[in-house]
Amino acid sequence: MERTYWLRQTTLLFPELEWSRPENKLQAGTLLIIGGNGYEFKAPANAYGDALEAGIGVATVLLPSSMQRVVSDIFPEAIFAPSTPSGSFARDTLALMLGLASRADGTLLPGDIGRNSETTVLLERFLDEYRGHITLTKDAADPFCQQPLAILHRPNTLLVLAMGQLRRLGNTAHFPHAFTSEMELVQLVETLHEFTKRFSLNIITHHQRHYVVAVNGQVSTTPDTSETSVWRATTSVAASIWWLQNPTKPFEALTTAAYTVSSA
């Protein structure tokens, strides 16, 4: 069976994207990073540093105000939003989130959001009103894997998921074919092909030492030769930046991002 939708990337498939990358920071795009709660801000802080290293023009970080005393001196670039008594983002953050996102080329939620129900409702409303590019990973993606109606048909949405998260997403979306950690790579490719033809989501996952990218039925696989064990964190940053710098070529951009992290 010929799978014309599947591209195997062992060398860079879309070198023209690398050749045309902005050399001037003023042209390299802006990224809004949203994350953190009263107990943790490692994910957004690392994402900020990784974004600068990866070539973003401007990165802005939004944290809950519960963290202001702790991080304002060591992280002066941060902007602080209203927080719940437990230290997570409060629903009053919505207007600020939307305002900052409207001035950015892309938005990244890299994790450490916490498990607060008010924050979950806030994120659902944000995705409902915000129309721009958004990338979610780690615990920021968890609520949408469990209740995916807000994102299944939302354009410009990227999920960077572990296989367990992908399994939950498929189950709660009532997709007839299961995602499992035991499936062969070719089975995963076929299933993601069908899943992303049915739903508007873009997906990156990692399986059998391969990065797997799926966009609108197209799938690419890239062997992972890196030594990193925190692949979702680094991949979500790289994917966000390549995507916002190539907004009309999501498949090519995300496949190129996979190559850059696979060989890092």
Measured CA to CA, the distance from residue 32 to residue 130 in angstroms comes to 13
Measured CA to CA, the distance from residue 164 to residue 79 in angstroms comes to 32
Query: Could you tell me which of 179, 165, 152, 153 has the C-alpha nearest to residue 231?
Result: 165
- Please give the domain boundaries of the chain with CATH numbers for all domains: 6-262 (3.40.1190.20)
pLDDT attached to residue 197: 97
Measured CA to CA, the distance from residue 54 to residue 93 in angstroms comes to 28
Span 235-247, pLDDT tens digits:
999 999 999 999 9
Mean pLDDT score of the chain: 94
Task: Kindly state the percentage of the chain with pLDDT values over 90.
Answer: 84
Q: Span 124-144, mean pLDDT? A: 96
Residue 216, phi-psi category: left (phi > 0), alpha (psi -120 to 50), beta (remainder): left
Measured CA to CA, the distance from residue 210 to residue 258 in angstroms comes to 9
Q: Span 172-197, mean pLDDT? A: 97
On the question of pLDDT at 62 being above 90, the answer is: yes
Span 93-125, pLDDT tens digits:
999 999 999 999 999 999 999 888 999 999 999
On the question of pLDDT at 69 being above 90, the answer is: no
pLDDT attached to residue 39: 76
Measured CA to CA, the distance from residue 62 to residue 100 in angstroms comes to 9
Q: Which secondary structure element, helix H or strand E, spans residue 218, and what is its range?
A: strand 218-223
On the question of pLDDT at 151 being above 70, the answer is: yes
Lowest-pLDDT choice from 73-82, 117-126, 148-157: 73-82
